[in-house]
Structure 1
Amino acid sequence: MRVSTSQFYQFSSNNMSRLQADVTKQTEYLSTGKQVLTAKDAPVGNLSLLGFKEELMSIERFNANITQAESRNNRQEVALSNAQDILLQVKDIVIQANNGSYSEEEFTSLSQQLKSSLDQLMDVGNTKSESGEYIFAGYQSEQRPFSIAPDNSVSYGGDNGQSELQIAQNIFVPINLAGDEVFMLADNVVGDFMSTYTDNLTIPADDIDPDEPDIYVERAVIVDRETYNGAGMTPGFTFDFTDANGDGVVEATVTDATATVLYGPLDYTAGQTIAFNGVEVNIDGNPLPGDQFTINEQDKVSIFDTVKDAIDWVDAAGTNLSDPKQHQVDYNHIITQLDEAFSHITNKRAEVGTTLKTIDTQRNIALDTEVLVNSSRGKIEDLDFAEAISLFEQQKLSLQAAQQTFSQVQGLSLFNFI
């Protein structure tokens, strides 16, 4: 078969172009370290590669959320730890102040320490995140959540919102605790009611220690909410102890705010439960004729209010007490309520700890998954350098041979053989 000069040139040009393209393509494989650069390189495996890459991008996004969630919860954990330390300090000061031998100046010093503790607790409540947001303000993260009045009462300006971040396909974790839940809603140690006392004005001659309280409400709870709500009572409920017959037997009577009798008068024996319309009340001590107290519904107590009560109590301790029994009752209540406040903060800190554990577990899972996905992706996509280099050298030699052959053949002519 005859081959024209133009055909020879066309064939040689196409052949060298193909060999040059193969060398260029192999160079791309070697420079990227990948054996799959386009879908045509691995039509079947390319779909798997797309899935692997999408999963790795998802892990990267979740890892960013994991870092942010961990930072926010670590900041909360530190803040709650500081709150615990402050409450322990407050309790220690109150116990110190329960000392009748202290001078007015010493009580003033203790009161100032308590006010400083209240300020520190306020600072904890107004803790900011690394981005300048208030972490205990709920959704109102730009607004300072806690503010204090001249009388040391503290108000909350945030809401009860709780933000979350997604750290896995089906896992969301909180990044904040609402400030009202943390600082304003500690359980009332008494139960569902707060007590106020009217002391017995006549101290019996056989009263061994007139400075010790006769009675203390240790439990006041609503045990039957339906009965309580349906009774039509008007809080608060006043408990009166009398000896109407003069026989030394104390009788108890309970009335509501409209003076409607809800219980009694019935003989009262120390330690018995007074129950009426879904309410149960237990009293510590032995009531005397003339003793009186009132309970009003309040099942939650602000931790700030408890510290404020401690300040007021110490301030009162530095004066001539007109009612030492009531002062001692208040002391017992403040101490037990401080213990409850500490337990409340401990529980909230435990919630944060649980969240941090979830975050840590998910980070480890994400790391393991990332290693597995990269391994699977590498089996399809990563280049075998030894094989690729060998093929590259072969292709380069083929191109060089084609170029040399074309160079030699194109110069041939019949005149060379004449």
Structure 2
Amino acid sequence: MRISTVTMFDQSVSSMNRQQGDFLKVGQQIASGRRVVNPSDDPQASSRAVGVSQAKAITQQFADARISARNSLSQAESVLNSVSDAVTSAKTLMVQAASDTLSDVDRQSVASELRGIYETLIGQANATDGNGRYLFGGYRDDSPPFARTGGEGVQGTRYTGDENTREQRIDASRLLPVADNGKSIFQSVPSGAGYVARAERDSGGESIGTQVGFDRNQGSVSFKGPSRVDPGNELFGESFTIQFDVDVDGFPVVQAVDSNGNLLTYANGDEVLNESYESGKLVSFGGISITLEGEPEMGDQIQLRPANAQGANQDLFKSLKDAIDVLEMDQQGQPENRAHFRNTINSVMRELDNSLDNVLTVRASMGARLNELDVVDAVGSNRMMNYDKTLSDLVDLDYSEAIAEYSLRQVGLQAAQKAFVDVKGLSLFNFL
């Protein structure tokens, strides 16, 4: 069989090119550390690697979202820590102000300190996250959630945010609340907070909570309580109004009535409360009890409501404003003013307790969410490790095998080059 010189040259060059290509491919793999440098190297592994890389990117996005959520929750929790300290300080001042040994000047001094706490709480309620977004405004986070109302003196507040809770997706199936709205923190009470009493009479105007429609009592009746006696009572949890009337002989009686002034009765028809009034006597009805002292005036009332009822005051700022107003009031020689002071102090103390419990409950919820972020972070880290291992199995290089292959390809290329040199030197002219 005759083989031409051109054929031998072509085959030798093709062999060297093939060996050089294989040698270069192994060199690229070693240089990049990847077994699959181009999709053509392993189409199936390349396709699976793309899917795993996308899953890694999504998992990383969730990890970044958890960092943002953790920052928001940490800032809000820090603010609530300051709020709970401020409310605790306010309660301490209220206990101090309740002492009968203080003069009007002393109480005004306490009111001044309480006003400072009030301003501090307003500032905390309108705190931002450092990027200009208000923490407690819900989705309406571009303006202060608590606006001032009223004129001179200690102004009231009005919540202008919305009642939604901002959420952030921290995992494929988890939307985590990252900021509670101000209404749920500063204008709410925890469930099961019990009853709150306020000594105020219906003025006949439109009533919205305790803001409008109620005036001060005119008599000197003060109260202690209310206390929970029988939560299983069929009327427990209802709102009551204690009012004062006179019997046929002109002696004062104390009654429990509904919002229309009708005497409240049990299912069997018995009256809830309608008996002669005695100063200092404990009266019980509807599963609660309260002690009344002093001399009432006709029309005086005491409103008894569950702390979470619509008509009860749940506004922390209103409680503090009421306390400041009553501490600045002149009490000397006026029994009705002293009774109003004692009643307001009793009401505000209980409202502050409820507000503090609510703030601590929200803060505990934030702490639980921070713990949840730690757990989800751990799960996400394990998931990223699994993705990395799968991706490594698919496309990463086995250096031991690659180095052996590199040496083999190098020997093959050298052999092809040596063979080409030998073939190239074959000629009859060498033997002439």
Q: Same fold (TM over 0.5)?
A: yes
> Residues 245 and 255 of structure 2 are in contact (CA less than 8 Å); yes or no, is this contact kept in structure 1?
yes
Closer, same or farther: CA 283–107 of 1 in aligned 2, 3 Å: closer
Of residues 243, 253, 266, the one that matches 2:274 is: 266
Of residues 375, 398, 401, the one that matches 1:384 is: 398
Q: 2:255 and 2:155 mapped to 1: Cα distance?
A: 36
Most deviating of 342-351 and 262-271: 262-271
Q: Deviations over 1:105-145 (max 9, x none)?
A: 43333222111111111111111114321110000111111
Closer, same or farther: CA 377–255 of 1 in aligned 2, 3 Å: closer
Aligned amino acid, residue 181 of structure 1: S
CA RMSD of aligned residues (A): 3.4
Closer, same or farther: CA 387–257 of 1 in aligned 2, 3 Å: closer
User: 1:267 is paired with a residue of what secondary structure?
Assistant: strand
Q: 2:171 and 2:369 mapped to 1: Cα distance?
A: 14
Closer, same or farther: CA 400–130 of 1 in aligned 2, 3 Å: farther
| TM-score for the superposition, normalised by structure 2 | 0.80
Partner of 2:27: 27
Q: 1:32 and 1:121 mapped to 2: Cα distance?
A: 59
> Residues 197 and 302 of structure 2 are in contact (CA less than 8 Å); yes or no, is this contact kept in structure 1?
no
> Residues 283 and 291 of structure 2 are in contact (CA less than 8 Å); yes or no, is this contact kept in structure 1?
no
> Residues 238 and 294 of structure 1 are in contact (CA less than 8 Å); yes or no, is this contact kept in structure 2?
yes
Partner of 1:298: 311
Q: 1:411 and 1:54 mapped to 2: Cα distance?
A: 57
User: 1:301 is paired with a residue of what secondary structure?
Assistant: coil
| Equivalent residue runs for 1:303-322 within 5 Å | 303-316=316-329, 321=334, 322=336
Aligned amino acid, residue 330 of structure 1: T
> Residues 306 and 337 of structure 1 are in contact (CA less than 8 Å); yes or no, is this contact kept in structure 2?
yes
Deviation of 1:54 after TM superposition, in Å, equals 2.4
Deviation of 1:404 after TM superposition, in Å, equals 3.2
Q: 2:349 and 2:325 mapped to 1: Cα distance?
A: 14
Closer, same or farther: CA 317–42 of 1 in aligned 2, 3 Å: farther
Partner of 1:36: 36
Of residues 280, 285, 291, the one that matches 1:284 is: 291
Q: 1:243 and 1:401 mapped to 2: Cα distance?
A: 126
Matched, 1:213 2:222: yes
User: 1:379 is paired with a residue of what secondary structure?
Assistant: helix
Deviation of 1:147 after TM superposition, in Å, equals 2.0
Partner of 2:418: 404
Q: 2:190 and 2:294 mapped to 1: Cα distance?
A: 26
Q: 2:93 and 2:18 mapped to 1: Cα distance?
A: 90
User: 1:167 is paired with a residue of what secondary structure?
Assistant: strand
Q: 1:315 and 1:403 mapped to 2: Cα distance?
A: 106
Deviation of 1:241 after TM superposition, in Å, equals 4.0
> Residues 191 and 299 of structure 1 are in contact (CA less than 8 Å); yes or no, is this contact kept in structure 2?
no
Q: Give the gaps of 5 or more residues in structure 1.
A: 204-211, 229-234
> Residues 200 and 217 of structure 2 are in contact (CA less than 8 Å); yes or no, is this contact kept in structure 1?
no
User: 1:154 is paired with a residue of what secondary structure?
Assistant: strand
Of residues 132, 146, 157, the one that matches 1:154 is: 157
Aligned amino acid, residue 10 of structure 1: D
Q: 2:390 and 2:124 mapped to 1: Cα distance?
A: 48
User: 1:138 is paired with a residue of what secondary structure?
Assistant: coil
Of residues 231, 238, 244, the one that matches 1:240 is: 244
> Residues 73 and 179 of structure 2 are in contact (CA less than 8 Å); yes or no, is this contact kept in structure 1?
yes
Q: 1:194 and 1:8 mapped to 2: Cα distance?
A: 112
The percentage of aligned residue pairs carrying the same residue is 21
Of residues 384, 387, 401, the one that matches 1:373 is: 387
> Residues 213 and 328 of structure 1 are in contact (CA less than 8 Å); yes or no, is this contact kept in structure 2?
yes
> Residues 182 and 348 of structure 1 are in contact (CA less than 8 Å); yes or no, is this contact kept in structure 2?
yes
User: 1:196 is paired with a residue of what secondary structure?
Assistant: strand
Q: Give the gaps of 5 or more residues in structure 2.
A: 202-215, 266-270
